[in-house]
Structure 1
Amino acid sequence: MLCDTCYRMLHHQAGLRENRRVELRFDHHRRISTLREAAESGCSICSALARQLEREHFIDLGAADQNIHLQAALASICGREWKRGYYSLDFLLDGRWMRTFALRPRTSTANSWWGLIRRRKTQHPHQHAAHTHSPAVFELAQRWLSNCKCADPTSSSPSSSPSTRQEQYYPHRLLDLDSIKRAIASSSPSSPSDPIEPINPQTRIHLLETRSPHWQKTDPSTNRYVTLSHTWGSPSPPTTTTTTPRLLASNRQALLTAGIALASLPATFRDAAVFASHLPGVRYLWIDALCVVQAETPTAFVRQSDADADALGADEDWRVQAAEMDRVYRNAYLNISAAVGDGGDAAGGGGAGGAAEVGLFRERNPAALGEDEVGVDVRGLLELDGDGDGDGYEDEYDEDDELDGGGYDRGRGARRRRRRALKACVKAGVGAVLGCLRWKKKKQQQHVKRCSVVDVALWDDLVEDAAVNRRAWVYQERLLAPRVLHFCADGQLAWECSERCCTERYPDGVPGLQLKSGVIVSEERVKDLEPVEEASLPDASLEDVNGDLEKKEEDDDVVVVAPRRLHHYELWKRIVEMYSQKELSRQGDKLMALAGLAKFFFDTKLAPGWPPVPQQRQLPQQHPYVAGMWREYLEVQLLWRVEPRFEDGWIHNGTRRYPRRAPSFSWAALDVPDGVVGGEYRDQNLLFRVEDVQMKYVDSRNKFGLVEGTGCRLLLDARVVQIELHEIEPVFITPYGWWVSGGKAPSFMDMYTDVYLDSPTDDGDVFEAGAKIFCMPASTGEGGTKQSPSDCICLLLQLIGEAEGRRAFKRIGLARLSDYESEKFQQDSKDVQSEKMYLY
């Protein structure tokens, strides 16, 4: 629903302050109290605005009332991507942009009496309940599950492989929900809008071990398992008030034999168990806190010395289970995501509150869940994509001239005539029944456009920005799980699979819109990063292949990537760029939290035909995974960079380095709040070569997992030039500059200033006197050669000593040179010869 302020602004141009022709500027709410009341009443626009303003600390809805200067700007959306008729509605607080909504046009036919009949035939009716634990919500979730065509490991459909259909994978441990399902079967049915009958809190669920000889295999199609994603919070020590159960070596046997009562579980675990029990064919639940042996103290793992299998240590069990994460989530029927709360989960870290205490089931305002439609008055607004004279009015047209899809089609004249004839019959019949009803077709006033209100940031609000989805482990879980059901903070359910994203407001699919650089464009979502079918990727033509081989013969340093391989590596690049922004409770988990996804990615995409390039005969002797990167095209992947954030006229880089968890040449050594930018897979000339990779693993059984960062190194054949790195005074926007050693310091205009340091906070010694800093030319761009360079990318290195008679370096950043700078740098370093060196 829309509040009176929003409705009158859009429909009657109430509060119009300024007509700029390309946009109409309105005054909106002027006091916090009226905004709060509108949000509480269920206004979809004001609810979203209030949440964002409070989340970003612009206002405090609970504080005393005060004046605010909130404005709205209505404009026509133009551009090749958009059909005629879309509008943007931007909201500003004190002149600062806050949020954008899209106004999506409804065809005139859809708004007519005849259009109402057609919409009732095509749209799924959905009654919004006041509780998330109501039959109506369960039915919607079941409909999403039933309509999902994503691969189901338990299905006998042609999409599942024969080996998968013969024997379903089960995790090492599961929670048996049989007692809850029997309680549900014996309870009285509820009406769709009423809460379901509560389960006896003393009902117990039992831990099962599927590798035990007592485990009895069951029909996987009727005994599926689901998983739960939730926040863990900070790894603080448990207190005497912490009662959240965890699987420990000391209580494992009790959980196997006696089980645990629902009343003893935190709200999220309890609600997940009840919800999963309502799903047909689901028998088991997997929760990490109760299915993986946890440490007795959360800050450290405790290794048990008892030889008995019942005394399995948490450290060892965690490593074994972490190596199975790709199979645990990929084979799950559904992943339930607790996208509620603001962090801290008592189950994981001993902290209070958070998603575990909030739970999945909650009351909500049904009025705020529906999609809003409103007649938008666009008088005086310049139609940028229009064909008219720009006065905001258009020629009259028949209300049946547009199809429901919003466009025209061949044969439309005949279909329109048939629709008119049928509509005339309907009108005549209704007129005869009512007797006195007069049907008169009114010419539609073109300055009022019937539009639906689309919150462009809705998916981000509900899903992407949820505390649970900022976690690194959960990012892996979302990509591995075939389908995810999110219980969101506003009480709304959201569905996510590789086919579609849905919410209760948009049960048939969320409009794929996002705001990018101030423009509303089509949105790319996390599930779009799932590996696609091989058949949909292009094969290289014979002409392309021959041309690539000729180019390769001319210069072995030219990077040539086949189309399918290019897709795979571009996909991994995007996965890393998003993953590098995620948070961890334990900093040492950076590589482990990605290990399952990396293993799955290699098995499904890169393993067939490995090694792919005949010239790289050394690859079979080396593991393909190199601390978050791949051995094939490793040189390109080493050219990642940390993009600093520009804010308030200053450049900020809050990156921190953790050298023990990954070597300096890997992005995994850094915590980057805004993520890294991967190297480009383009035609380019490499100026160095990786000759050998030496990795040191924490657990040699899982080479996709943890490494000892200081024990890993690359043997490079490269040229390095000693340079002077300098911090520029803050009067300049560019914070760093460098030049080749040997001469006096140049002026600012003669420095190389396109510099991206990895972690200036932790690498502060690079600016000290006597720091030995070097520049390693890495690649020239497309069209460039070693003799005639174009733009150039260089790695910035710090000399840290010698190893086996060779110089040893660590990476500290990356620099880019323009065409002119590249040529100048080549002249300055023309006498430097390549050498064999180690990069740690």
Structure 2
Amino acid sequence: MSNFCSDCENILRAIDQLFTDGRINDFIGECYVSNPFASGVRGWTKAAKEGTCDLCVLTYSHPEHELMTKILSNISQDAELTWLLDWHLGDWVQLSLKCETGQYVGIEVCFQRKSMTDKEVIQLKALGGEKGSSTWDPRTAKTIRDWLHECISSHHDCNGPSRFALPMRLLDVSPSETRGAVPITVDDINNLSIDALPQVNLCSTNDLPSDTKYLTLSHCWGTGVSIKLSNKLLGTYENQIPLEDLLIPEAKVFRDAIWITRCLGYRYLWIDALCINQDDRDEKSVEISRMDQIFSGAEANLSAASASTGADGMIFDRKHSLYQLFLSEWKTLDTSHDGKTQEKKDYLVVHVPRENIPKEPVNKRAWVFQERILAPRVIHFCNNTIQRECSREEITELQDYSPWIIVEKGVGSSHIKYAPYDDMEGFDDTKIEKKDWCYRFRGLVQRYSPTSLTFPQDRLASFAGIAKSTGSYGGLSEEEYFAGLWEPDLPRALLWHARNHFGERKWDPEHVGYISPSWSWAGCEAPRILCGREHLDSWEDLVVVIHVWTVPLIPKGSQFGALSDGGMMLKGKLVEMHRKRIGDAFLISVRDGDSNFEKELYLEVRPSQSVPEFENHSEGGLKEVNILWDRYTKARERLNLPAQTGTSLDLGCWNDIEPEVLYFLPIGQGPTTEVYGKEDSLTVEGLVLSRDDTTDRFRRVGTFETCPPYPVGANSELRLRLSRVPETELTIV
């Protein structure tokens, strides 16, 4: 029996009425109902913490507990609260709670109304998913097996263009008597565990058929793994991996992966730590360079999504039910096929979407991002549910509860062939050109950039498989790839932006070895990279790329891997500029020799960090230029200063301040729409460079735009000044 406070009773009645009235239109995001939560923040938190209202408990149980605590610590307990109802993902209604400050609190809860008999409720509950149940059971195993069979046999766009070469080694996890067995009962499942069947051994793939089917595992290494292949253990593991090695607590993720592989009917499994000799540097180099083939050639990837360490494993007891049923007060009578009247009751099916796959621990890792993108299918083992995806679809576990619960499948978004900006045209469409694949690649760079690495020097290596696969699909050769940029995408690909205001830097460049040339995103410490305009935009290049080169770290090594050197020679309009701080502002003087603008100063601006900053941005005063710095320390200088600067700056001291000498290099220009109904105008985007006086070479330190942040508008004067400068040749390293 469910318990609700008076506020939540009103919410549930409103939800039921929405289903009765039906959806007015298909505009997702419109707020259909909004009313005060009468007891406010204090009443809501009290009911949730004391457990006196089931719906308050649900909305309060945010999966990111620390974030929730931080948000609530900045909100008064006496603050007013509002509840909002929106239609969400088909025929679901979503409940949100919003504080008077505009801050959303708690977690969104989704509802669907179903009329069911008592027998149908029993059938639904028999599918499992309740709090305390295991995420791995016979029903789940069969569902995933059936999905794999359907995808492999009918999703032609999920299969690779050809059969890839097998990895050097695989784990043989299935004794002969278990192969092909379909677990039907819990006992069947348990009989496939390591405890029941400890036989696991390494095998060379030299004697295996080229079409051998296998699965792969993605997991967090962290500071290390419990067991890994070495010179000393190679012979032993080829015979049998000792049970005591597999029973180490930190090896739970490996035990679970072996167990799952058996339950899904596969014999072979690839785990990096056990299938690559960690003592053999040459072998590691070769196998790492083949990651695109290893993961693309597998039938599916098993992702230990919620495991921060090996001891966490992949199979969990649920902390929350997948769904809940709230019985409505209203009843309807229905007539069955045999003419008998049977009673149906109205229920609100309640679902809290707790898992955010990209934010799961394993998916924050750079190497795992690559594995997810390359694999034709991925099964995510989260701590409360199991989700799966291929290039065509994304499926949550709740979608397996049809016909009682209806959830629409998501569109696949995490495969190398996924094209988020081309209206999902056919992946094999011959009209797709190299530039289209380059733009897709830039999108993957942008999604990859927030992930983390134990060793920053692996930045390019951990993305090499994606680059190679992009080249394979897009007709791009290794000779066209330079430090994370494709030559057909130059010079526009140079205009990636560092987003330092998202958080702390990833590493300190002063304590990290060489990663890439400064013009490559790979060596940038910023927590996120944005990769510039869409390729369909009207655009004019303002530089000519004369020559590009990179030097692999390993002699005669791959251009896709780690590098030891690189550079780019261009021809363009290089403009010296002086940067000085006066009061709470950084000002820019363009040294183009134009006597008409000799004393003209530009204010260096930054994107707004808050709603008030955005809304209070006023026109007037100094003309502006937007600069995004690559270095965290440089960006921090500006981020700590006020967004707005008054006109009372003491500009008379300009000549007394020693300038920081930098350079603008316009890369291209395109149209931008000014605000307030003004006509379209051109904005120039380019690089900010520093000069090494000893070598006469340049290094990238940031990017600039003559169109500063909204809502000021384009700086046409600066654009024209930059266009009048004579061209020169320069080298950026």
TM-score with structure 1 setting the length: 0.66
Shift of 1:450: 7.2
CA 1:587–1:230 in structure 2 vs 1: closer, same or farther (change >3 Å)? same
Report the structure, 1 or 2, having the larger strand content. 2
Shift of 1:25: 2.2
Structure 1 counterpart of 2:317: 363
CA 1:50–1:328 in structure 2 vs 1: closer, same or farther (change >3 Å)? same
Write the distance in 2 (CA, Å) between the matches of 1:149 and 1:294.
33
Q: CA deviation digits over 1:799-828, x for unaligned, max 9?
A: 11365xxx4111011111139865322554
Once the two structures are superposed, the pairs formed by residues 438-477 of structure 1 within 5 Å of their partners are 452-455=349-352, 458-460=354-356, 463-477=357-371
Structure 1 counterpart of 2:127: 126
Shift of 1:328: 0.6
Unaligned runs of 5+ in 1: 15-19, 62-66, 236-242, 296-312, 344-353, 378-398, 401-422, 443-448, 514-521, 541-561, 611-621
- 8 A Cα contact 1:336 1:486, kept in partner: yes
User: Within the alignment, does 1:825 sit opposite 2:701 as a pair?
Assistant: no
User: Within the alignment, does 1:487 sit opposite 2:381 as a pair?
Assistant: yes
- 8 A Cα contact 1:36 1:50, kept in partner: no
Structure 2 counterpart of 1:683: 538
Task: Read off the aligned partner of 1:801 and give its amino acid letter.
Answer: D
User: Within the alignment, does 1:4 sit opposite 2:17 as a pair?
Assistant: no
- 8 A Cα contact 2:158 2:391, kept in partner: no
Shift of 1:628: 0.9
2:339 to 400, 414, 429: 429
Write the distance in 1 (CA, Å) between the matches of 2:636 and 2:317.
52
CA 1:802–1:151 in structure 2 vs 1: closer, same or farther (change >3 Å)? farther
CA 1:472–1:187 in structure 2 vs 1: closer, same or farther (change >3 Å)? closer
Write the distance in 1 (CA, Å) between the matches of 2:56 and 2:393.
24
CA 1:750–1:9 in structure 2 vs 1: closer, same or farther (change >3 Å)? same
Task: Read off the aligned partner of 2:549 and give its amino acid letter.
Answer: Q
Once the two structures are superposed, the pairs formed by residues 208-607 of structure 1 within 5 Å of their partners are 208-211=203-206, 216-218=207-209, 220=211, 224-234=213-223, 244-261=226-243, 262-264=246-248, 266-280=251-265, 282-295=266-279, 313=280, 315-341=281-307, 343=308, 354=309, 356-364=310-318, 368-370=321-323, 372=325, 426=336, 429-431=339-341, 452-455=349-352, 458-460=354-356, 463-490=357-384, 492-507=385-400, 525-527=413-415, 530=418, 536=426, 564-607=433-476
2:169 to 173, 185, 196: 173
Write the distance in 2 (CA, Å) between the matches of 1:689 and 1:489.
52
Q: Which secondary structure does the structure 2 equivalent of 1:825 belong to?
A: helix
CA 1:744–1:173 in structure 2 vs 1: closer, same or farther (change >3 Å)? same
Tell which structure's C-alpha radius of gyration is larger.
1
Structure 2 counterpart of 1:145: 148
Write the distance in 2 (CA, Å) between the matches of 1:360 and 1:677.
34
CA 1:585–1:376 in structure 2 vs 1: closer, same or farther (change >3 Å)? farther
Task: Read off the aligned partner of 1:35 and give its amino acid letter.
Answer: A
Structure 1 counterpart of 2:651: none
Shift of 1:232: 1.3
Task: Read off the aligned partner of 1:702 and give its amino acid letter.
Answer: S
Write the distance in 1 (CA, Å) between the matches of 2:181 and 2:427.
51
CA 1:663–1:188 in structure 2 vs 1: closer, same or farther (change >3 Å)? closer
Write the distance in 2 (CA, Å) between the matches of 1:579 and 1:158.
23
CA 1:565–1:769 in structure 2 vs 1: closer, same or farther (change >3 Å)? same
Shift of 1:662: 0.8
* RMSD (Å), alpha carbons: 4.8
CA 1:185–1:162 in structure 2 vs 1: closer, same or farther (change >3 Å)? closer
Q: CA deviation digits over 1:767-805, x for unaligned, max 9?
A: 994643000112111399xxx9721112111111365xx
- 8 A Cα contact 1:202 1:263, kept in partner: no
User: Within the alignment, does 1:111 sit opposite 2:65 as a pair?
Assistant: no
Write the distance in 2 (CA, Å) between the matches of 1:68 and 1:763.
36
Structure 1 counterpart of 2:630: 758
CA 1:512–1:254 in structure 2 vs 1: closer, same or farther (change >3 Å)? same
Percent identical residues: 20
- 8 A Cα contact 2:373 2:414, kept in partner: yes
- 8 A Cα contact 1:736 1:753, kept in partner: no
Task: Read off the aligned partner of 1:131 and give its amino acid letter.
Answer: S
Task: Read off the aligned partner of 2:312 and give its amino acid letter.
Answer: V
Once the two structures are superposed, the pairs formed by residues 782-821 of structure 1 within 5 Å of their partners are 782=671, 790-801=682-693, 807-818=696-707
2:550 to 684, 695, 698: 695
CA 1:37–1:589 in structure 2 vs 1: closer, same or farther (change >3 Å)? farther
Write the distance in 2 (CA, Å) between the matches of 1:95 and 1:227.
45
Q: Which secondary structure does the structure 1 equivalent of 2:277 belong to?
A: coil
Q: Which secondary structure does the structure 2 equivalent of 1:754 belong to?
A: strand
CA 1:24–1:318 in structure 2 vs 1: closer, same or farther (change >3 Å)? same
Write the distance in 1 (CA, Å) between the matches of 2:126 and 2:210.
34
Structure 1 counterpart of 2:19: none
2:528 to 649, 670, 674: 674
Shift of 1:495: 1.2
Aligned residues, how many? 649
Tell me whether 5-14 or 264-273 shows the greater mean CA deviation: 5-14
Task: Read off the aligned partner of 1:668 and give its amino acid letter.
Answer: A
Unaligned runs of 5+ in 2: 16-30, 604-620, 639-653, 674-679
Once the two structures are superposed, the pairs formed by residues 48-63 of structure 1 within 5 Å of their partners are 49-52=60-63, 54-56=65-67, 58=69
Structure 2 counterpart of 1:73: 82
Once the two structures are superposed, the pairs formed by residues 159-198 of structure 1 within 5 Å of their partners are 164=163, 169-179=165-175, 182=177, 190-191=185-186, 198=193
Shift of 1:595: 0.4
Write the distance in 1 (CA, Å) between the matches of 2:549 and 2:391.
37
Task: Read off the aligned partner of 1:326 and give its amino acid letter.
Answer: D
Task: Read off the aligned partner of 1:177 and give its amino acid letter.
Answer: V
Q: Which secondary structure does the structure 2 equivalent of 1:791 belong to?
A: strand
Q: Which secondary structure does the structure 2 equivalent of 1:128 belong to?
A: coil
Write the distance in 2 (CA, Å) between the matches of 1:161 and 1:244.
33
Q: Which secondary structure does the structure 2 equivalent of 1:752 belong to?
A: strand
- 8 A Cα contact 1:246 1:290, kept in partner: yes
Write the distance in 1 (CA, Å) between the matches of 2:122 and 2:468.
47
Structure 2 counterpart of 1:300: none
Write the distance in 2 (CA, Å) between the matches of 1:8 and 1:135.
38
Shift of 1:646: 7.2
Tell me whether 688-697 or 22-31 shows the greater mean CA deviation: 22-31
- 8 A Cα contact 1:135 1:195, kept in partner: no
CA 1:797–1:210 in structure 2 vs 1: closer, same or farther (change >3 Å)? same
Q: Which secondary structure does the structure 1 equivalent of 2:282 belong to?
A: helix
Q: Which secondary structure does the structure 2 equivalent of 1:671 belong to?
A: coil
Write the distance in 1 (CA, Å) between the matches of 2:157 and 2:65.
50
Write the distance in 2 (CA, Å) between the matches of 1:755 and 1:511.
45
TM-score with structure 2 setting the length: 0.75
- 8 A Cα contact 2:192 2:262, kept in partner: no
Write the distance in 2 (CA, Å) between the matches of 1:35 and 1:196.
42
- 8 A Cα contact 2:625 2:715, kept in partner: no
Write the distance in 2 (CA, Å) between the matches of 1:503 and 1:525.
14
User: Within the alignment, does 1:746 sit opposite 2:601 as a pair?
Assistant: yes
CA 1:293–1:178 in structure 2 vs 1: closer, same or farther (change >3 Å)? same
Task: Read off the aligned partner of 1:74 and give its amino acid letter.
Answer: W
CA 1:131–1:665 in structure 2 vs 1: closer, same or farther (change >3 Å)? same
Write the distance in 2 (CA, Å) between the matches of 1:49 and 1:201.
41
Task: Read off the aligned partner of 1:141 and give its amino acid letter.
Answer: I
Write the distance in 2 (CA, Å) between the matches of 1:574 and 1:376.
49
Write the distance in 1 (CA, Å) between the matches of 2:252 and 2:89.
45
Shift of 1:586: 1.1
Write the distance in 2 (CA, Å) between the matches of 1:178 and 1:193.
14
Shift of 1:472: 0.7
